[in-house]
Structure 1
Amino acid sequence: MEGERGTLLAARTMIPFAGGPHFREGGILVREGRVVGVGGLEELRREYPDVPVRHFGERTIIPGAVNAHAHLGFRREDRPEGGSFSRWLGELIERLPEKETWTAEAARASAREAIEAGTTFMAESSPYGECLPQLAESGMAGFVYAEFFPGDFPDSTPEERVRAIVERVRELREGLPERVEAHVSVHAPYTVDPESSRLAARRTRELGWRLAIHLSESPEEVEFVRDGTGGLANIFGRNDWGGVGLSPVRYAERVELLAPHTIAAHLATGVSEEDVAVLARTGVAAAHCPRSNEYLGCGVSPVPRMMASGVRVGVGTDGLWSSPSMNLFEETLAAVRLHGFDGVLGLRLATYEGARALGVEGETGSLEAGKWADLAVVDVSPGEGVDPVREVLEAAAGGGVVATAVGGRFLHDRSGA
């Protein structure tokens, strides 16, 4: 049977790993959802003469995008005004009752948009994991980080709050598709009190689960943690644990949130050299969301310094109420322009580095034997110019993804091949 032999997927150009060798007339052998062989098409045909070939023509096969931080449950047409994080967040909170009526529909649309832009793995965050069904049904692989808010548990102890979110995630983890998982998010320093944060971090480590947090995202967060004042001091009722005289990063270290199983999103405001050293020492990963940071007036994350210090950094789109699209390649191109990166580093950030930030680089992020066949086909075949990989990244960012496969199964295909 053809399915047992697998399929050779080929194109004029193939970039199995950003920074590794590229192939003109390259291919990959996919069998049972995983990559079995990678190389030049002629060589692969000689080695596997009976395997059917699907050739995508004058295009490029690349690894699928890995979105290190996203929110599926938003829609772009009625997003709150940007410029001020606390004002934006306040308007979001006011709209929550209305938003509940369309969150599921928005999540499906956002997931579809991401897939059509070449995303194959996503780390999604939503209150109590509300967007898990839409991620699971989309066909993408990924995690949902279930955010919890202690203000939703009046007159409860930190132990009771953490027990509730752990039980919620246990329920979410039942009956999931292969390659979809649920984990915990300690939403942010201004929404989750120190003891609940500490207990959640300890409990997830005990369980072997992953943890996510929004950290050092805005000037208002820096002010709240350091001084206990500003626009976030009363954002979810009275938050009286601020004013500790520390940066958000140092505060997160104090309450034990920073560890290799944790990914911190944004890190856009007030991240000092000392903070970067803390991030590197604790092994925490970072999700860079440059367009969301710009829209909300949150500054520029010191990504080059973090990477030079050994911090794992991936790229995330955030959600459509703070970012213009769910196209991770477009988000990464914004980071490339912002930080002066070349195309190779840009494509690696969008793929392998995102997987490494999430701790799944052994399964996805590059097209190597044994990994899942998570890939995108881009409608470009770059020449031998100064930065041919950037050509591919720009094409993918500009809507040039014509096919997307997760585990070898095509979820999006307008290639005609």
Structure 2
Amino acid sequence: MSFASLFKGKRDEVVGELFSADAKPIERKFSKSVRPSTNKVEEEIEDTEDESESEVEEKVIKKQKKQDENYDLEARYFKKLLDEDKEEKETPVESKEDEQVQEDDSSDSSDSEDEAPKEKKREKKAETIDLKQEELSKAEKTVFVGNVPVTVVTSKAIYKKFKNHFSKIGKISSIRFRSISFNETLPRKIAFAQKKFHNQRETLNAYVVYETKESSSKASDFYNGKLFENFHLRVDHINHPSAKDNKRTIFVGNLHFEEMEENLWKYFNKHCDNDVESVRIVRDSKTNIGKGFALIQFKDTLSVNKALLLNNKSIEENSRKLRISRAKANSKPSILSPNHIDNQPKNNKKNRLMTKLNDKEKTVVGRSKILGKADQATIGSKVIMEGERARKGAKIGKKPRHAKNRKPRIRERTQKFKQQQNGAKGESKPTK
């Protein structure tokens, strides 16, 4: 029996069924767990089986372009780093801070290409020009008082009397004393605290500051020439001084260096019918000792003729003879003089300051003559703004921790001391 005879009939039926069916592609489904794709290209091919041939070709071309662009990416990156290093070496480094900034920038650029180097911003301090506005506004309310007795400083009763004397026309905010001469060469604050005043100098100067401008403007007419503790006061406004008339003024020379204003007041009032308006002995700014001459202004020009008759006469017997003449106007220096404005150096501090200011600031600086020496030297200078300064009566600073509910310490020694004190006085006070 042959091998073909065993499958006769059944074989023909199976083969016929196979060829009678339509031809279809064989589907192969593999799970990822059973057969994972070992290459990304196989996965892309499986995804693109259903797509057309044109779409597949476009994707292949795009992929090749990307590969061509990124072919020398690493070489280009290292080249860029080398160029940056060369630029840093060529540029000079000004300070250590700049070096640190450049190092930080190079490290940032190595981490990422897109980040630009960061530049360090230097903060500028807030500065302003100090024009002494507060001091100038205070000068509008300030009055100068000359020939004040020294007892105003040494005695509290006379000081209160002096304050009440000037408070008749308005309320006073403060009083300052200047032109004080001392016996010893000590700092002024120490000498003033120890009351070491000069024995032969009986007067000083004062600055009275009112609270309003109106009251200060009345002070010169109301108080000038009046007596206070047997001394004639010379009162004048700082910002609006009275006019100096040379026709009513005389020059008195050959005075003793320790001559007092009060002696000149009494001498010329006696011979000129009490017509003296003001007496000013010119003194040294540091020692407050007279320079040997004075200027006396009268209320009327006729008194000048009477005063000229006293030339070569002395105030007291066996004293110096006075040299009296009419006052002359101070002549301005000529163009050839080095004191002329045009001949002064342009690099002067004041001239350099004026070039940096505008017109309004220049007018303010021009009024600095009414200020003190310290304010005149610092006006127009730049000041760093750090906040408001401390003022009288203002609360400054913070309280320490637990300051509100903090209780004082009570120890056995303090309790015993208090009990002994109470026992000595015969009182029994409960201790806290």
TM tier relative to shorter chain: under 0.3
Q: Which of the pair is proportionally richer in strand?
A: 1
TM superposition score normalised by structure 2: 0.21
